[in-house]
Every structure is written in C-alpha cells, then in structure tokens.
Chains A and B, each alone.
Chain A
C-alpha cells in the first residue's frame, strides 16, 4: 500500500546487488535525513558534511552485507553515522569539551531556579542532555524524535518489541527529566 516504501524496498534490493543507479537514488532519498541526524549530534556544518558524505561511501562498501529485515534502510545508515560520530569525537576529543560546556551551562542555570524550567526546554540544552543518555535510551530518543521513525520501525531496527521500545522511551525521558530538572 505504501508506494514510497515499495519504491525504497525495490531500490534497496537492487543496491544490495551493487546496482549503482539504485544506490545513488537511495543517496538522493536519504542524504537530508542523515545530514539532519549528524548535524543534531555534532552541531557543526563542516563536520556534519564530512561525516554525512562518509556515511554513504561506507554504506556502499558494506552494502553487499546488508540484510533486508524490514527495518528501514535509514536506520542502517544512521547506525553507520553513529559509529562515525563516535570515532569523530574520539579523534578530536570534542566529546569531553562538549560535556564540559553542557555541564557549565547547567551550573549557570541552576543558580536561577525560576528561569530553569524555561531554560531546560531550550533546544541546545535539551540536546546536551540527550547526548548524555546511555546506549539504547539515546538511540531510541534520536530515532523517534530526530529521525522520525515509528515505534515499529525502531523495534525492527533494534530487534526488540514495540512494547520494549516504549519502555526504553519512558526511561529515557525520565532520565532527561532528572538531567534537565535536578531534584525532580
């Protein structure tokens, strides 16, 4: 029923057989989404461009091993992006500086409890907290809210049930509550 899904499925099948035209079409479809995801995590245009470009080259090199499981193709691209972002931070040690800057901002805001509720909703502040979430909790929040995947798509990508994804989402938002509203 879903034409777009069928189109993509056909393209992925061809791309797995190393069809270059199909993979180029997949690039056209997903480059914006991959870039948005990477940009959200690195908050820098130049790094976002470098990493997004590399995602597709890595994906092409690994496409022969891609297994069609029903999970969206974008979830696979985003998992490649995730690894590249981790490498990027490791290499540049920016993770430490980002955490430092988030921590310092949090301290500033804590001195003004009245402004804290508003401040806690600020985009950058929330982003900093999301990047502090661990493992699957961060993955689920990013997939759901930043990449716009449905619960069933996340479930397939993480090989979990939809119920389990909702539980992880609940725990992640609860963690964010504690990170953003200390004492909550």
Chain B
C-alpha cells in the first residue's frame, strides 16, 4: 500500500472518529515519524463552526431572486403574471369573462400596496387573510383542470415555503398550515386525474418537480426547526414525499389516477423500494434482479437482461410499478435493496421488504416492522445471497472526550478526542451533569474544557446526532491568584473583539481547554 493511501486511510479514520492516532501507529509503525505530524495537522483542520445568519440568507435570497427576475418586478408579480396569461388562454367559453376578471385581479394584485405586502405575509400575520383571499379568487378564475392543478401545486409550494419561513423565524406552526400542504397536493392530483392522458404527463412532471423542491426546502427547514416544530415539518415533508411517489407511480401506470391516491396514505412508503443489481431475466412480467423477483412488473421500458440496473418502484397488490430505472453497462454481482420491513415467514428465512421476498440466513434477527432498512448481498447464477442486514439497525456510537467548543447556533458542539475534533449535533440531546442535574446547551458554554460522554449518538448523513450527554463539571475555581483577574479581563476583551468580527473566540487561547492533550475514547 502506498504511503499516500495509508495517510488517506488514517486521516479518514481519525476524522470520522473510527480510530485514533495510536491505532494508525500500531498498524503502520514504520511510517510513524513521517505520519504523526501530518496526521496531527490533518486532525486540526476543521471548518469554522459558523453559519450565515437567517437575515443574511433571506437578504441574499431576495437579491438572487431580483437578479433572476430582473429588478423591475418581484418574483410573485412575475409568477402571477404568467398564470394570469395562462388562465386567459385556457379559458374556453368563458374567455371574455376570464379576461375581465383577470384584469381586475391583476390590477388588484399589482396595483395595491396592501395586496403586494400580503404576498409576503405568513400565517398569523394581519395581512395573511388577504393573501389567502387572493388565492381563492385565482382559484375561482382558473377554469380548466390544467390551470387548477397548476395553481394547487403553486399553493402547495407556497405553504411549504411558509412553513420553512415560520420555522427559521422560530414561530410555532399551526396544524391547519401543515395540513394545507397535503390538501393542496391532493387537490392537484385530483385535477390531474381529470385531464386527458396526453396532457397529464406535463402536469405529472410539474408534480414531481414541485414536490422535489418542497422536500429540499422542508428538509432544510427541519434542520433549523425547534423541537416543537419538528412534527409539523415532518408531516409536511411526508406529504411532499408521497406526492413525488404518486407522480412516479402515475407516470408508469396512468390507470392509478382513475381512483386518485392521496398523500395521506401511509402505505405508500411501505410499498416503496430501491433495488440495485444485475437483471438476470425477464419472463412473463417477472423480473429477476440480482436474484430477487419482482412480480407483474409495469415499466415504461425494459432493459436488456445481463445489464446492471438501479430500480425505484412500488409494490402494490402484488404488482410492481417501476418509477425510475437506470441502466449501467457493466454488470457485477453486488445487490442492494432498500425498503420497509413489512414482515417475515414463520421461520424467519424469508423477509418481505416493501413487499419483495428476500431470502435470509436462518437465525438472523429481523428488524421491527415498518422500519426502513437496507440489505446488501451478492448474486450468483440468479440466486441472491444476503450479506446481512447491514443497516437494519441505526448505527450508534459512544464518545468520550473534552468539550472543546459550542457553536454559535447552539446546535453543535466540538468534542476533542485525542487531538481530533468531532462535531456532534446536540439539538435533540438530553444533557445532564454527573450529579444528575439537567443542563441546557447554554450551560455547556460555561463548561468548555470539561470531560464529557456522549452515548447512543446516531450517525446520519456523516454527522453525529447525540441522544444523551453526561458532562463532568470542571472543578470549582480555587482562591484568586495574582494576575488572574487581569488575564480574565483581557480574555473578555479578546472575545468581544472576535464577536465583532463574527468569529468564534479561540478557546485554545484560554485556560479552559487542554488543547490536544485530553484523553478520550470512541466506541
């Protein structure tokens, strides 16, 4: 192995908390003198624990929208303008009435400062009813299923934007506001089901696009949301997720729209799967992918047997609808399936993952029902062999170290473990002192430099999310020492200067931390 690769392996191990410097030295003792200083340097490089302020992000966003739309008009005005024109030209018999009403509406929207200000309002604001009223008027004026579906999708987007904005402002999110996301997406699906099949494809594309954007926006909002707001954001996120599943389903199997599915149907997730493997055979509607059988497959295209495929789909009533399929030229024997565990046969050798039967070695402990899981394995001669439910259980780790820093937004702390810093999200953590006192994240600021233990931290998207934290308080300060007051004052001055520059004070300069000397363990 090249020394460059060894260094990379050690850097990654230390950074992720999987190993410590000593582990690398034990493994590669001959490279110690060369590696140690480089690994210590690598371990000391971390991004600043800073985040742009919500005010700046909003300001920059508005500036960007202005740059995209041009300074003459706000995005809302532009969007409304487009829809107004659309409604005129799709108005059919009532076109003349529509034109008159639309002119009145546009003059109301663009000519009134109140109406314009209302567009920026959020639920609970004085002007919000004006915004809702204007939307109702537009809906009344939308005369075709196409324009109504488009309008419902736009309204769903606005509701999710409002939830994101309320969440970032720390406001409470009312249940009706959340339900509106699902109501508007369902209303759009209902309108799409009334459209001629040749017109529905473009609307389903819009549904996909719209729900994708909502999911991204709400995912971001979820990270910033308070604990109280989390369920509301999650509910809206689920509705958007199911909306995108329905769009994919209807694309491949338009007949589902004859009885339009609802985003309130939780069973949609349970039937959703992703599968990677080699397509061995296609016979009578049965596809063998990596040794796993998909029954009564409905797909807009069929790849050539022998190719490696990535499939996303739904299994409902014994039928498999392929939502997306990607074909790769090179086949290999690796198989991966992700879905929801919905049950097993009596002896536990056959698991049903989103309705797909998967052979499992006897004695493997099944996960709890309804859990999203990922199984990896290999295939040979069309038969699947499981390598175990590698991510059936959430990966959790315990970490002990020194509390090195608390981020400005009070959501993340840095823990120093043998010179390496590990970032841990503490926004959902239960924190207490060794004597059982309950602590808050704010309390942690004054405990920088203390020993700390994080238990059951969950690894998610490469970040650690703490569940429980126990902090060993620092010893109480002894009698005043000569010159100490002066030092404290100077440190205080430095901190305020750092704050002015928007920087975190360098804790290593103070006496609280113990630099890279602290001992700690990961496990």
Contacts and interface: CB of A to CB of B under 8 A. Distances in A.
A166 B5 contact: yes
A176 B41 contact: yes
Contact of B508 (A27, A52, A61, A123): A123
B52 interface: yes
A146 B57 CA distance: 20
B215 interface: yes
A71 interface: no
B50 interface: yes
Contacts of B59: 53
B51 interface: yes
B63 interface: yes
Contacts of A25: 212-213, 216-217
B501 interface: yes
B288 to A, nearest CB: 20
Given A31-B57, A145-B46, A177-B38, A118 B515 contact: yes
Contacts of A48: 52, 502
A7 B216 contact: yes
Interface string A3-30: 0100110110010000111111101110
A40 B338 CA distance: 38
A49 interface: yes
Interface string B120-157: 00000000000000000000000000000000000001
A130 B41 CA distance: 11
Interface string A117-147: 0101111101000100000000001000111
Contact of A123 (B37, B44, B61, B336): B44
A7 B212 contact: yes
A121 B51 contact: no
B413 to A, nearest CB: 16
A141 B38 CA distance: 12
B52 A52 contact: yes
Interface string B11-47: 1000100000000000000000000011011101111
A66 B241 CA distance: 28
B173 interface: no
A36 B50 CA distance: 7
Given A25-B216, A44-B501, A57 B64 contact: yes
Q: How large is the interface on A (under 10, 10 to 19, 20 to 34, 35 or more residues)?
A: 35 or more
Given A45-B502, A141-B45, A169-B8, A29 B516 contact: no
B47 A36 contact: yes
Contacts of B269: none
Do most interface residues of chain B lie in helix, strand or loop, or is the interface mixed? helix
Contacts of B5: 163, 166
Contacts of A53: 56, 59-60, 63-64
A121 B39 CA distance: 11
B60 A45 contact: no
Nearest to A141: B45
A141 B336 CA distance: 33
Interface in A141-184: 141, 145-148, 151, 163, 166-167, 169-170, 173-174, 176-177, 180-181, 184
21 contacts: A1-B310, A1-B336, A21-B209, A23-B68, A29-B216, A36-B47, A43-B501, A46-B502, A48-B502, A49-B56, A52-B52, A60-B67, A61-B67, A121-B508, A121-B515, A122-B506, A123-B46, A166-B8, A169-B4, A169-B8, A177-B37
Interface of A: 1, 4, 7-8, 10-11, 14, 19-25, 27-29, 31-32, 35-37, 39-40, 43-46, 48-49, 52-53, 56-57, 60-61, 118, 120-124, 126, 130, 141, 145-148, 151, 163, 166-167, 169-170, 173-174, 176-177, 180-181, 184
Interface of B: 2-5, 7-8, 11, 15, 37-38, 40-42, 44-48, 50-52, 56-57, 59-61, 63-65, 67-69, 75, 157, 208-210, 212-213, 215-217, 220, 274, 276, 310, 336, 338, 419, 461-462, 501-503, 506, 508-509, 515-516
